[in-house]
Structure 1
Amino acid sequence: MANTKSAPKTPRSASAITTVLALSGTVVALMQTIVVPLLPDFPRILGVTADDASWLVTATLLTSAVATPIMSRSADMYGKRKIMVICLAIMVVGSIIAAVGGSFLWIIIGRALQGFSSSLIPVGISIMRDELPKERMGSAVALMSATLGIGSAMGLPLAGLVFEALGWQSIFWVSAVAGALLLVSVAVVVPESKLRTPGRFDYAGAVILSAALVALLLAISKGGSWGWGSETVLMLFLAAALLLAAWVPYELKVSHPMVDLRTSARRPVLLTNVASLLIGFAMFANMLLTTQQLQLPTATGYGFELDVVAAGLCMVPSGAAMVIFAPVSGSIIRRFGGKAALITGSAVMIVGYVGRVFLWDTVPWLIIGSTVISIGTAIAYAAMPTLIMGAVPITHTASANGLNSLVRSIGTSTSSAAVAVLLMSVNMPFGAVTVPSFDAFRDVFWLAALASGASVLAAAFIPRAASAPRTITQEGVTSELVVQGRVLLAEHRAMAPAVVTVLDTSGEPVDWSRVDNEGNYSVALPGVGKYLLVANAAGWAPIAEVFEFDGRVLKQDFRLQDRLSLAGTATAGGTPVPAAVIALLQASGEYVATTQSDKLGRYAFPLPMPGRYILTMLHPVTHQAAARKLAVDNRSVSADLEVGLASPGRKESVII
């Protein structure tokens, strides 16, 4: 198969793209953690309560949850680099507002706008899939995941140092400068992908999902301070449940959904997202407990009484280890696939947490345990986008990764709430106050180890075929273009649901697409040449066509003509019986359908779902009856029914 000629990407350009996109992970982590060390000081600085000051974290969390799926979907539709630039611009504006606003309200607004940076991760990873050679994908995604760790580790000491030297506003100026530099770098270095997902943006789905996420995450993040049994928290959980209950059927019905739930329900995607939730839970517990233990007084018996800067510096080895082990993550993915990498990373996290239960009495042991967990996190985080991109259409990689990032953030939020509950409930007196006992820390370690173990179990059931992202390259170059079309019936009606799959002439998979409610599909082809396109819909015979792509004709329609059926002839003593009643029942007795035979005794049902059925016939004059069992798979079935001759007044039942 010949591919389009295009200028080869040099290793330098690929390295530059990887570096710029990976740095976006650092910026996202910085936005999440840079205010955390200063939370004890903000009530005094801004004249607010400690609970009010916590909104500096909550506002970013909520905006991230809303922005990630929306901006990721927009990236697939309108351009990935364009959306990255928009998110960075919003983040820079938010940083400036927080720095110059001068009041608590303006800082909250600025922090909320900084939350748009969370979209950089899924969009950046999808750009890597579009622009990088296949052999560099695993290590590039691993590096981006690693920069998340180093960004989190850097945020703690950096915030303390900048605050002490230049004041609290300086942390937002640092964010603004970093965002501006990254914005220019993305605009200059990162090419705009040619891949687009056609269709209309699902505004209603976006609004409903955003409202549900805000209600859910607000209840989780504020449940500890507002009271888990309070009316406000319970109402938020109820609102989230009702909104999601309305959103799911709406997304299944709309032609261009905000989230493709049918694809998300496929086993590779579903289980990867389940594992992501569990890994997010386990990962965040490590960061929360390590910084707390380092700063608690030594008189507690397990604390080390370090200041914020020193505690932050103790986290640097964890972040550095993630970067160092990025090539290892990439090697595991290339050699054994994303499934093996996810299982390996989760298993390493189990080892780290079990070690922390028993080895905790010195700072070096604490740093080693935290670092082992971070290494496992890096390996697991690198595997998730790889698994996701291997199981979704190429034109939906950003939105699919966005959903995966959202699931991880729900896991981290749940972890924060669970850790807070355990630390408050298992405590001991310390002077005039109470502090968590080390039993609380042990409980969280075991809980995080259990979550990591559950992630191993979920990953074990991921199909191995979904282990790597699909891309076809020539000399390390991708030059994909989107081909669109419709799947129609003979009478020109749209056929949905249906699936279109593309193979190259050697039989290797290229891309696939789920047909929307209007019969439209879109697939990405890597270059000119011949492709095998296969369309399939339940109840219809599949159709395969060879499509010779010349780089100009970007449309290919399918017309399904052969409907699969359950058909036969009703006879009595060998003579066709017109107007015979033919009924179809499930083997368990449930009614399915009824029809009548035509003048020639023929009948037909659309092919039912695979399973075992009972087919019955009732003669319209003699009232003789016949029945037979049959098994239905995905092929047309021929089943004749016959009753014996009898006088009109006599009734017989003949079971065949």
Structure 2
Amino acid sequence: MPTDAGRKSSPTGAVVAVLCLAGTTVSLQQTLVVALLPSFAELLSLSTDDVSWLITATLLTSAVATPVVARLADMYGKRLMMIVCIVLMAAGSLIAALSSGSFALLIVGRALQGFSSALIPVGISIMRDQLPKEKVSSAIALMSATLGIGGALGLPLGGLLFSHFGWSAVFWLSVVVGIAILVAVIRIVPESGVRTRGRFDLVGALLLSAALTCLLLVISKGAQWHGEVVIALLVAAVAILAVWFPYSLRASQPLVDLRTSARRPVLLTNLASVLVGFALMANILLTAQQLQLPPVAGGYGLDALSAGLAMVPGGLAMVVFSPVSGRMINRWGGRITLLTGCAIMGAAYLGWAFFGHSMLAVVTGSTIVMVGCAIAYAAMPSLIMANVPITETASANGLNSLLRALGTSTASAVIAALLAGVTHEVDGVQVTSPLAYTITCWIGLAVCLAAGVLVWLVPRDAAAPLEADVEAAPAPRKAAVAQAGESSEIVVRGRVLRPDDKPHPQAVVTAVRLTGEPLDWARADNAGAFSLALPGRGRYLLIANADAWTPKSQVADFQDPDTPMIVHLGGPLLLTGTVTQAGAPVQGALLTLSATTGEVRATTASGADGSYLLRLPPPGHQILTVLGPDLRATRAVKIFTTTQSAICDIELEPSGSTADES
């Protein structure tokens, strides 16, 4: 993190305000148009299915743009990519405002507005880079809450603008807001110096974009399209992902680092994010339906504007509770905070299922769900950023935002189908049954409980070193610690090499203060290159590790960030031993190491002194088989390998075959 000295010139409050306004704009783009859909269908003489493309186009662009823009932000600058997204959003709004009712231009404009979705993950990453450490959690909580603010204000604001100024006023508002935010970002938000170098993964971006497009079309259009088309899209999505996964694992600098995403804290948090996004959208849809449907369908007969106003308390509650979320994260960590948010949402759905029989109960239940969502959404970026390299925070937050969007999209399809499918007859007309609302509440409760279980499985936060540890340290270490971190945050680069000076791809390098405080870590690319973000110039402990290789540590003095650091690994982990027969060494014996499932992992031959050497396989039970040079004497032993080099001496019988276990 940057030092306080390096931040004095930064207008912290102004930076937070601008970034949060940008976040509010994102959710407004999603909801402002919702109130206009029935009117567009009438004005443009289109079917409801056709008009729904105004939502689908933005959804598809958002899904594609979020991971791509977030990765570009890590590489070329976060502020720069925010500017690009705002310009595209404003351009799309202008095209839609000037479309004169052309449906094709409206679709193009709405698609360009979808680029705004990347503003939230990129903005959160800027907060991590630019704000004082003690203010990051509350700022992230507030920016996460902007999703609820825009969602709650979008429906009534869209209806109000349409009724007084016409449908184009909605898009003109987005143009004005976009220009204002663009000017504010350029003037107030500083560019982050935390970047990672390398090539952009174009192939990975194309594959992931194609897979997401197919998948989201299935989710958003599956109920309207023919089964054959839906199945074809689903098969295409699975096939493309089947290509993308192994490609990303082999790529030097993939769009999405699957190895990092598979780390337990990151994976479980991302899975919980899908469920929390589902629970949030279920709440919005359930509330809107109950408030607007006629009383014969179990609703309260409000118009769109009144229903939107009734949902405003939920959005305001997210703002009110955002500083509470920040304090919870600072005191108890992201895991407990996210658990609390899931618990509040689940409790709200439970109470809603039993007592949601009045308009006041519906609004109250919806507001409590939004409070839980504010707490949960604030904790997710904190958990993610605590477990990914600092130079990849935008990419990691982009993936998390994408998965939350998949959750909300899935909820839209599931809950809409449920409310349309669970009906009863009133005066000869099929209308939504009150049972559908109750079922939706139970689904929301189940989803929140599932999210809570996933979060419970997230490892607890590691304890930070005590200040007393620094005071008790020897004088040389205290002097080194005092020297480190005096300047602003720096990004240092280097390469991981094997003992033979060849690069080691996918090795992991960890940076630690000389008092033991963890700072950052990075995974080397296929050329062995890595980047680390450190608090400032000074001395740090570096630890290099790779599977099946001996880890190695060293103290590195980073006075010139532009000078690459060379980090060496130790030698490979080995399985060694001696083959003997009647007490004498056996030369030329064949040794085969195989897994208990049958795969042969390695083979070698014993030397003149009977010794052998094999690369250590992954931890687990292995079978080591020896065949004597006479092709008669043989022996097989079962061994258990760990993450350390091992020795296994084998005595051959004079002839025949035996199988032992050791």
Range class of TM-score, shorter chain: over 0.9
Secondary structure, aligned partner of 2:575: strand
Shift of 1:478: 8.1
Q: 2:435 aligned with 1:439, yes or no?
A: yes
Counterpart AA for 2:60: L
Tell me by how many angstroms 1:501 deviates. Answer: 0.7
Tell me the residue number matched to 1:292: 289
User: What SS is found at the alignment partner of 1:384?
Assistant: helix
1:56-108 Cα distance to aligned partner (Å, 9 max, x none) = 11110010001001000100010000000000000000000000011111011
**Where does structure 2 lack aligned partners over 5 or more consecutive residues?**
465-480
Which of 453, 457, 460 lines up with 1:457 in the alignment?
453
Q: Secondary structure at the match of 1:615?
A: strand
Offset of 1:518 from its aligned partner? 1.9
SS for the counterpart of 1:522 is: strand
Which of residues 228, 233, 239 in structure 2 aligns to 1:231?
228
Structure 1 residues 397 and 197, CA gap change in structure 2 (3 angstroms): same
Q: TM-score scaled by structure 2? A: 0.93
Structure 1: which amino acid aligns with 2:589?
Answer: A
Quote the Cα distance in structure 2 between the aligned partners of 1:96 and 1:241. Answer: 37
Alpha-carbon distance change, 618 to 426 in structure 1, aligned in 2, over 3 angstroms: same
For residues 191-215 of structure 1, the C-alpha deviation after alignment (integer angstroms, 9 at most, x for no partner) is 1000111110011110111111111
Q: Which moved more, 1:105-114 or 1:491-500?
A: 491-500
What is the rounded CA distance, in whole Å, between the counterparts of 2:393 and 2:656 in structure 1? 64
Correspondent of 2:59 among 48, 57, 61: 61
Q: Is the 8 A contact 2:7 2:131 kept in 1?
A: no
Q: Which moved more, 1:553-562 or 1:433-442?
A: 553-562
- How much does 1:632 deviate? 1.5
CA distance in structure 1 between the aligned counterparts of 2:596 and 2:111, rounded to whole angstroms: 57
Change (3 A) 1:436 1:643: same
Which residue does the alignment assign to 2:162?
Answer: 163
- What is the CA deviation profile of residues 157-215 of structure 1, one whole-angstrom value per residue up to 9, with x for unaligned ones? 11111111111100000011111111111111111000111110011110111111111
CA distance in 1, matches of 2:657, 2:92: 83
Give the residue type in structure 2 aligned to 1:615: L
Provide the rounded CA distance (Å) in 1 between the counterparts of 2:288 and 2:629. Answer: 82
Q: 1:486: how far off?
A: 1.4
* Residues 49-128 of structure 1: pairs in structure 2 closer than 5 A: 49-102=47-100, 103-128=102-127
Match of 2:476 in 1: none
User: Which one-letter code corresponds to 1:315 in the other structure?
Assistant: M
* Pairing 1:131-170 to 2, within 5 Å after superposition: 131-170=130-169
Letter of the 2:253 partner, please give it: H
Report if the CA contact (8 A) 2:275-2:447 is conserved.
yes
- Structure 1 residue 602: Cα displacement: 1.6
Match of 1:15 in 2: 13
Structure 2 residue 405 is matched with structure 1 residue 409: yes
Give the equivalent residue in structure 1 for 2:333: 337
- Is 2:494 the counterpart of 1:485? yes
Distance across 2 between alignment mates of 1:467 and 1:342 = 19
The one-letter code of the counterpart of 2:126 is I
Cα offset, 1:561, TM superposition: 4.3
Aligned residue type for 2:89: M
Measured in 2, the distance between the counterparts of 1:376 and 1:7 equals: 35
Residue 641 of structure 1: CA displacement? 2.1
Shift of 1:359: 2.3
Correspondence for 2:591: 582
**Equivalent residue, structure 2, for 1:215:** 214
Structure 2 CA distance for partners of 1:7 and 1:399, relative to 1, 3 Å: closer
- Equivalent pair of 1:615/1:629 in contact (CA under 8 Å): yes
Greater CA drift, 613-622 or 472-481: 472-481
Q: Are 2:398 and 1:399 equivalent residues in the alignment?
A: no
Decide whether the 8 Å contact of 2:589 with 2:605 is kept in 1: yes
Judged with a 3 Å threshold, the aligned counterparts in structure 2 of structure 1 residues 249 and 466 are, in CA distance, closer, same or farther, namely farther
CA distance in structure 2 between the partners assigned to 1:47 and 1:467 by the alignment: 62
Q: Structure 1's 528 and 115: CA in aligned 2 closer, same or farther, altered over 3 A? A: same
Instruction: Give the partner amino acid of 1:156.
Output: L
Q: Which residue of 1 aligns with 2:478?
A: none
CA RMSD of aligned residues (A): 2.3
* 1:409 Cα deviation after fit: 0.5
Matches within 5 A, 1:185-334: 185-227=184-226, 230-300=227-297, 302-334=298-330
Superposed, which structure 2 residues align to 1:564-579 within 5 Å?
Answer: 564-579=573-588
Change (3 A) 1:385 1:4: closer
Segments of 4+ moved more than 6 angstroms: 2-5, 472-478
Deviation, structure 1 residue 553: 4.1
Question: Would the aligned equivalents of 1:131 and 1:478 in 2 still touch at CA under 8 Å?
Answer: no
Q: In terms of mean alpha carbon deviation, does 564-573 or 244-253 score higher?
A: 564-573
> Partners in 2 of 1:139 and 1:173 — Cα distance?
32
The 8 Å contact of residues 278 and 408 in structure 2, kept in 1 or not, is answered as: yes
For the residues of structure 1 that align with 2:415 and 2:49, how far apart are their CA atoms? 17
Q: State the match for 1:37 in structure 2.
A: 35
Partner of 1:642: 651
Contact 2:75 2:196 in 1 (8 A): yes
Q: Per the alignment, do residues 340 and 4 of structure 1 end up closer, same or farther by CA in structure 2, a change over 3 Å counting?
A: closer
Write the distance in 1 (CA, Å) between the matches of 2:237 and 2:171.
Answer: 32
For residues 110-166 of structure 1, what are the alpha-carbon distances to aligned partners after superposition, in whole Å with 9 as ceiling and x for unaligned? 000000000001000111111111111111111111111111111111111111111
Aligned pairs, number: 644
Partner of 2:472: none
Is residue 424 of structure 1 aligned with residue 417 of structure 2?
no
- Are the counterparts in 2 of residues 568 and 604 from structure 1 also a CA contact under 8 Å? yes
Distance 1:369 1:651, change over 3 A: closer
AA partner of residue 633 (structure 2) = Q
Pick closer, same or farther for the CA change 1:312–1:594 going to 2, 3 Å: same
**Cα deviation code 1:356-402 (max 9, x no counterpart):** 11223322221111100000000000011011001100011001000
**Cα deviation per residue 1:582-620 (whole Å; 9 max; x = unaligned)?**
222345665433211112222100111112333333331
Aligned amino acid, residue 147 of structure 2: L
Instruction: Provide, for residues 387-432 of structure 1, a one-character-per-residue CA deviation record: whole Å limited to 9, x for no partner.
Output: 1001100011001000000001110010000011111111123456
**Do 1:426 and 1:440's aligned partners in 2 also have CA atoms closer than 8 Å?**
yes
2:349 paired residue number: 353
Identical residues among aligned pairs (%): 51
Residues 476-499 of structure 1 deviation map (CA, whole Å, 9 limit, x = unaligned): 998222211111223332212311
**Distance (Å, rounded) in 2 between the aligned partners of 1:40 and 1:351:** 34
Give the structure-1-normalised TM-score: 0.94
Secondary structure of 1:39's counterpart equals: helix
The separation in 1 between residues aligned to 2:160 and 2:504, in whole angstroms, is 62
Give, in angstroms, the shift of residue 548 of structure 1.
0.5
Question: How many Å separate the matches in 2 of 1:601 and 1:475?
Answer: 52
**Alpha-carbon distance change, 623 to 344 in structure 1, aligned in 2, over 3 angstroms:** same
Counterpart-to-counterpart distance in 2, 1:368 and 1:595: 71
> How far off is 1:581 after superposition?
1.7
> Which of 592, 602, 624 is matched with 1:593 structurally?
602
Distance 1:256 1:57 in 2: 33
Distance in 1, Cα, partners of 2:425 & 2:632:
87
Answer yes or no: is 1:528 the counterpart of 2:524. no
Give me the whole-angstrom Cα distance separating, in 1, the residues matched to 2:192 and 2:271.
29
Contact 1:534 1:543 in 2 (8 A): yes
In 2, distance between residues paired with 1:338 and 1:123?
A: 19
| Corresponding letter in the other structure for 2:12 | A
Partner of 1:389: 385
Q: Per-residue deviation at 1:49?
A: 1.6
CA contact (8 A) 1:612 1:631 kept: yes
Q: Which amino acid aligns with 2:500?
A: E
Cα-to-partner distance string for 1:280-308 (whole Å, 9 max, x where unaligned): 111001111111111111233x3211111
Instruction: Tell me, yes or no, if the aligned pair for 2:422 and 2:436 is still in contact at 8 Å.
Output: yes
Counterparts in 2 of 1:591 and 1:41: CA distance versus 1, 3 Å: same
